[in-house]
Structure 1
Amino acid sequence: MIALLGCGVVLLSACGSMPVTGDIKAVDASQPGDSQVQVYAVAPRENATPAEVVDGFLESMTSDDPGFRTTRKYLTKEASRTWKPSAFTTVLSKAPNRSPRPVRDSDRSSTELTFTLTGEKVATVDAQSAYQPVVPTGFNRSLHLVQQNGSKEWRIDFVPDGLLLGQSDFKRLYRSVNKYYFATGPAADQSTLVADPVYVRNRTDPITGMDTVTQTIRSLVEGPTNWLRPVVDSRFPTGTVLRKGITALAPDDRNVLKVPLNRKADSVGQRSCRMMASQVLYTVRDLTSARVEQVELQRSDGSSLCVLGSGQAEEFAPDGSSGGPDSQYFVDDNGHVQRIPGSTKGSGDPEPVAGPLGDGPVRMSTVGVARDEQLAAAVSQDSASLYVASVVSAGELPAPAVTSRAKKPEDRLSAPSWDGRGDLWVADRNPHDRRLLRLAGGTGEPSNVRVPDLGGARIEALRLSADGVRIALLLTEDGHTTLKIGRIERQGDPDTRQDVSVVELRKAAPQLADVTAMSWSGRSRLVVVGKEQGGVQQVRYVQADGSAPASGVLPGANQVSSVAAADDEQLPLMADTEDDGIVKLSPGDNWQTVLKKGSSLVYPG
């Protein structure tokens, strides 16, 4: 047995550093644990058995071992030299299982062995720190051991690159952070920041020796992840990196974060520098215990390149404004659109909107409101027609902007959604003419949006992100409805006819067999309603990259049919339920009924 250094706790080959006060308890690296627990690797004991070498190596990978120096002691010299733990990370549902007995080489059975590692693979994290979930699938990998010449010591002489971690260890060792880049493409607001989620190491990265803030800024400066890269841009000049030797960055006693850059950034203009600083400010503002109020970028000689305060950064806010819309809208029992005024957190008295959607002749079923709250789009009660009208001034109801020819209401139009660029989106679910449609500015002619990866799936529902470069889709295929996120790519002149497509669909809630409702909730998070295989309905948060936060499951509500969340995560979550009507969930509270009657409650967007 190997003793925990300085703690008096016994583990096989890894141990945790504990607080100097309070109770002491054993730490099993394969069990869920506090992210503040630091685990140290322990070198293999003399004459360790082959099984102990494999177990020790696997446990050591879950440690905070600097440079993985101790972890490499389980490998032969050549394997230690070539192994690249930072290449990628494979995440299993649980810690890997080792075969109880090794397979011996038929020719040299006394000096060579192979162990098999198995498990259920749920995700990978690539060299860019981008998380990619996969449908849970069987995992199988081999570790080959040799008995080294001149000794009886067993060592691993073949190990694939990367780390192999159970889900609980991954959540303990890593945290999700949002990097920010600027939206690009025709008609893009070049000052709109887009969240790019990645996973960085808690505390110190074993390979680089960098703390969490420095890792995050390094990743930011290196550029966006491959999935997001086609639709965003960084203001950091190509080749910009942190000044050599920088491993720790923290705000000073005035909450100013100083970021030293190399000479590639020395001649950047003030406008570009301020945009670079805004990328840093929004990226790190939730990473430090003291909130960063100001970012100072420095040249290679240490002189100040530019300074940006949090107030000045509001022009680059990812949601397009300092606060974002906080009114809610819904369809009442008479099929008219009503508004719950903002700043009431869902508790104000509803009032009909101005214009034909508030008192017009056509009964509506669902509604979507533009983010500037000037226009709204509503689908008729039979789901056949989409109408667009002002909600701030009177007028006649215009002719339908989109009409579905499907025979059944459930095969007609989805609920509409507006993106952050002011465009309106809706899906026609007609089995004979399925279409994803976009109306530029909400009033243009509907144009077809290509979705090359759709295959035979049908779009049941859609929601656009505030940044306008991502779309969440509920897709039905083979009897199941799943949530996928697509990247929106635009080509051509926005003043004429733009070619718009949704590409590289990726699963955002692979742990749920069926998703019945969803909404964006913040900059890279969604709230979803769904069921695991054979489970009951649950309401939970998921990240746009498909990962699930540890505290993602929310209090249950009865028979939720739709859900609405705002860009501002402090605003209440709203839901339509069969038994309790429209309900809300404020941070730290339980579900409360807002309206007994009404449906299709939404925030602008």
Structure 2
Amino acid sequence: MRRLPPALAALLLVLLTACSTVPTGSAPVQITEAPARPAGPVGIEPVEPPADATPEEVVRSFVVAAASTVAQHPVAREHLVPEAAETWSDEAGITLIGPDYATVTTDAGTVLVTGDLVGSVDTRGVFTGSAGEPFTHEFVLTEVDGEWRITNPPDGLLMLVPDFERLYDARAAYFVDPTGQRVVPDPRYLLTGEAQPTTLVQRLLEGPSPALAAGVLNSLDGITLTRAVTVSGSRATVDLAGLGDRGGADLAELCAQLVWSLDQVDDVSSVEIRTNGEPLSAAGVPAVQRTDDWAGFAPDSVPADADGHYLDAGRLMTVDGQPAPGPAGDGAYGLTAAAVSADPRMSALTSMVGTTVTGATTTLLAGPYGGELAPILSSGRLSVPTVAATRPEFWVVRDEATVVRVPASGSPQPVNAPTLTGQGRATALQLSPDGVRAAVVVARGEDTVLLVGTVVRAGEGPVALRDLREVAPALSSVVDVAWPTAGSLMVLAGDADEGVAPYVVGVDGWGLTDVATSGLPSPPTAVAAAPSQLPLVSAGSTVWQLSGGTWVTLIRGQQPLPGTEPFFPI
């Protein structure tokens, strides 16, 4: 397994207790006060190729030389023939391979490198995981002054995963959900060092990654950075041009994007925004801003009353072992799955949906939390319903093929998901807390994989689910999925031999890490997670929560409570 990056490592710690990016020459503005990379070496720097090295040794030394923070990678260029050294670009992205790669000298005298292709990082720091294919490159070498040198280096950097994890930090560039209620994480991988704050702001100015772009807003669009971001003590100072007369909600979103993004940088806890050298002065905007000033945009806020729920013999239950209020808690509907929506303004549970099965028909019921439910949709099969915090609407998958959304006060409406049918049978779908992404479990023959797509909205018009892409291809038998944060997933996956187990992984597929199964009576069958909550699973027809690295009963010191299909209101 790959080591969890810092953001996910912090998440896993909670769960268990609960360039520069890739260098680029196309920055939106010319900033001369800070280099794209640190001016001098940082940490362990590679060395020049050893004298009298064999072709295989030269190739391996070249791979090691990618792990440098020095601009232009001069040591890596020393491994190349002069012509290649002049034309090779270290700014064309990073190809990541596992550390256990092989080098073999062929009969033709070339050196064939093969290894596990983990993925790639583009020039904006966006990671894309591989689909499981291997990495291969045949290096051609020739002698230069009696030493072997490479004539055909691959485009960009070829880097080992441990080196990448040592040199690059996982940071989120935050954009805004279409309702203007939350900032949405767009994972980026940035070179460590003093230039990181400047690079992170540049990534915000450039806009969201292609997969996310249609689902979010960017209030920094059209803004430029006049000079490098400076950090003094715990304060980052950002000088912008192009703000004009921005104010109100637009300015609030802009500030929230900057403050929440820069708050991730080591030692930064406050931000001062300037415009053309002068402090930003606007009503409602503090001179020095912190995330507390924009807490309403928090990416992982949760309602105060969002305690876990589950089902027991058709009754809706809460994690304290008590029936939920109303007829759903009395078992009047014989529910097989449910979801509950909360009003963030009142921090109260407001509406809910649930499924019930009669013969070959599954019916979706809807109504107020604690009140009477009425049927609104029937089909042969409906997935477990899901809801996001930003809109009062529920989503289900009908007959493993059609995505349907059900507004809290409206009739069911289809979601345009043109590529879903070609992916396979959709057995589960869960919206991210911000409602901008959807995780979908899809069955393809004997395999069941995890996809993540972007929810695209056109005002009050049609809604689409686009850019479905596979994450965590190493997990080929996915059972269920949940969102512990807006930027990460908790996945149940496994096979008949090893059994189902929980994992956490970044929304982009980086940082797949297993989660403990100790304490569980049997492999888990369903998972629930939400920001700042202890994850829940059902196992052996009982419900468990993860605490201190062990799955424990809902009521400590008592027998496990019977139940299935746990979930959190949101």
Which bin holds the TM-score, normalised by the shorter protein? Answer: 0.7 to 0.9
Aligned to 2:238: 259
In the alignment, does 2:328 pair up with 1:338?
no
Stretches of structure 1 that go unaligned for 5 or more consecutive residues are 1-36, 105-113, 205-209, 341-348, 407-411
State the 1:94 CA deviation.
Answer: 3.1
Task: Within 5 Å, give how 1:519-530 maps onto structure 2.
Answer: 519-530=482-493
Partner of 2:528: 564
Distance 1:354 1:52, change over 3 A: closer
Quick one: distance in 1 between partners of 2:363 and 2:75?
66
SS of the residue 2:140 aligns to:
strand
Q: Distance in 2 between matches of 1:512 and 1:315?
A: 35
Please provide the CA RMSD for this pair: 2.6
Q: What aligned pairs does 1:123-522 form with structure 2 within 5 A after superposition?
A: 123-148=119-144, 151-184=145-178, 189-201=179-191, 203-204=192-193, 210-238=194-222, 240-241=224-225, 243=227, 246=228, 249-250=230-231, 252=233, 255-261=234-240, 263-265=241-243, 268-269=246-247, 272-288=250-266, 290=267, 292=269, 294-301=270-277, 303-304=279-280, 307=287, 308-319=289-300, 321=301, 326-333=306-313, 335-340=314-319, 349-359=320-330, 361-372=332-343, 373-382=349-358, 384-392=362-370, 394-395=371-372, 397-398=373-374, 400-404=375-379, 406=380, 412-419=381-388, 420-429=390-399, 434-440=401-407, 442-454=408-420, 455=422, 457-491=424-458, 494=460, 498-522=461-485
Once residues 515 and 195 of structure 2 are traced to their aligned partners in structure 1, the CA distance between those partners, rounded to angstroms, is 29
The 10-residue stretch of structure 1 (72-81 or 297-306) with the greater mean CA deviation from structure 2: 297-306
1:97 alignment partner in structure 2: 102
Which letter maps to 2:386? S
Partner of 1:67: 72
Find out whether 1:592 has 2:552 as its counterpart.
yes
1:331 Cα offset (Å): 1.5
1:500-530 Cα distance to aligned partner (Å, 9 max, x none)? 2211111122111101111011111011111
Match of 1:601 in 2: 566
Deviations 1:246-280 (A, max 9, x none): 3x74352xx3322233x334765475444222112
Would the alpha carbon gap of residues 170 and 554 (structure 1) be closer, same or farther in structure 2, given more than 3 Å must change?
farther
The answer on whether the counterparts of 2:236 and 2:268 sit within 8 Å (CA) in structure 1 is: no
Distance 1:232 1:448, change over 3 A: same
Percent identity of equivalent pairs: 26
Instruction: Give the 3-state SS of the residue equivalent to 1:362 in structure 2.
Output: coil
Q: Judge conservation of contact 2:491–2:502 (CA < 8 Å) in 1.
A: yes
Q: Determine if contact 2:204/2:220 at 8 Å carries over to the other structure.
A: no
User: 1:388, 1:443 within 8 Å by CA — same for their partners in 2?
Assistant: no
The structure showing larger relative contact order (alpha-carbon pairs under 8 Å, at least 6 residues apart) is 2
Cα gap change, 1:324/1:140 in structure 2, threshold over 3 Å: closer, same or farther?
farther
Distance 1:287 1:95, change over 3 A: farther
Task: Give the letter aligned to residue 89 of structure 1.
Answer: I
- The one-letter code sitting in structure 2 at the alignment partner of 1:361 is A
- Shift of residue 220, structure 1, vs aligned partner: 2.3
CA contact (8 A) 2:316 2:331 kept: no
Q: Deviations over 1:201-224 (max 9, x none)?
A: 2x23xxxxx543333233223221
Gaps of 5+ in 2: 1-41, 344-348, 555-559
One-letter code of the match for 1:591? W
- Decide which of 574, 577, 583 is 2:536's aligned counterpart: 574
In the TM superposition, what whole-angstrom CA distance separates every residue of 1:91-117 from its partner, at most 9, and x where no partner exists?
Answer: 22335322235724xxxxxxxxx3222
State the alpha-carbon separation in 2 of the partners of residues 88 and 414 from structure 1: 39
Q: Which moved more, 1:266-275 or 1:513-522?
A: 266-275
1:445-481 CA distance string (max 9 Å, x none): 1122222222161111111112111111111111221
Q: Give 1:75's aligned amino acid.
A: L
Which letter maps to 1:231? G
Deviation at 1:379, TM superposition (A): 0.7
SS of 1:250 mapped into structure 2:
strand
Higher Cα Rg, which structure? 1
Change (3 A) 1:217 1:534: farther
State the secondary structure of the residue aligned to 1:218: helix
Q: What is the distance in 2 between the residues matched to 1:39 and 1:324?
A: 47
Q: For residue 75 of structure 1, give the secondary structure of its aligned residue in structure 2.
A: coil
Aligned to 1:343: none
Contact 2:353/2:385 (<8 A) preserved: yes
> CA distance change for structure 1 residues 302 and 157 in 2, over 3 Å: closer, same or farther?
farther
* One-letter identity of the residue aligned with 2:534: P
Which amino acid letter does the alignment assign opposite residue 64 of structure 2?
Answer: E
Partner residue in 2 for 1:583: 544
SS of 2:199's partner is helix
Q: Give me the TM-score of the superposition, normalised by structure 1.
A: 0.78
- Whether the aligned pair in 1 keeps the contact of 2:423 and 2:442 (CA below 8 Å) is no
1:536 and 1:464, CA in 2 relative to 1: closer, same or farther beyond 3 A? Answer: same
Aligned to 2:22: none
Alpha-carbon offset, residue 304 of structure 1: 4.2
Distance 1:192 1:236, change over 3 A: same
Q: Distance in 1 between matches of 2:44 and 2:552?
A: 43
Residues 102 and 60 (structure 1), Cα distance of their counterparts in 2 relative to 1, 3 Å cut = farther
Write out aligned runs for 1:8-87 (5 A): 38-87=43-92
Count of aligned positions: 509
Deviations 1:343-371 (A, max 9, x none): xxxxxx33333333223632111111113
Query: What TM-score does the superposition give when structure 2 sets the normalisation length?
Result: 0.83
Tell me which amino acid in the other structure corresponds to 1:600: E
Whether contact under 8 Å (1:50, 1:145) holds in the other structure is yes
One-letter amino acid of the structure 2 residue matched with residue 238 of structure 1: G
Deviation at 1:337, TM superposition (A): 1.2
CA–CA distance in structure 1, aligned partners of residues 483 and 76 of structure 2: 41
Distance 1:173 1:274 in 2: 33
Secondary structure, aligned partner of 2:336: strand
Q: Is the 8 A contact 1:314 1:322 kept in 2?
A: no
CA contact (8 A) 1:512 1:533 kept: no
Distance 1:181 1:376 in 2: 29
1:408-452 per-position Cα deviation (integer Å, ceiling 9, x unaligned): xxxx1111111231111111226xxx4211112x23211222222
